[in-house]
Amino acid sequence: MADISTIAKQFVDYYYKTFSEGRANLKALYRDNSMLTFEGIPIQGAVAIIEKLEALPFAKVQHKVTTLDAQPSSPAVSSLIVSVTGLLLVDDSENPLNFSQVFQLIPEGTTYYVFNDIFRLNYG
Question: How much is the pLDDT for 85?
Answer: 98
Which parts of the chain have pLDDT scores under 70?
1-2, 124
Q: Are 15 and 49 in contact (CB under 8 A)?
A: no
Left if phi > 0, otherwise alpha if psi is -120 to 50, otherwise beta: which for 39?
A: left
30-38/111-122 β-pairing: parallel
Question: How much is the pLDDT for 123?
Answer: 85
Q: Which domain holds residue 73?
A: 4-119
Per the structure, the count of domains in the chain is 1
User: For residues 52 and 71, what is the distance between their CA atoms, to the nearest angstrom?
Assistant: 28
Domain containing 81 — which CATH number? 3.10.450.50
Question: How much is the pLDDT for 1?
Answer: 45
Judge if pTM exceeds 0.75. Answer: yes
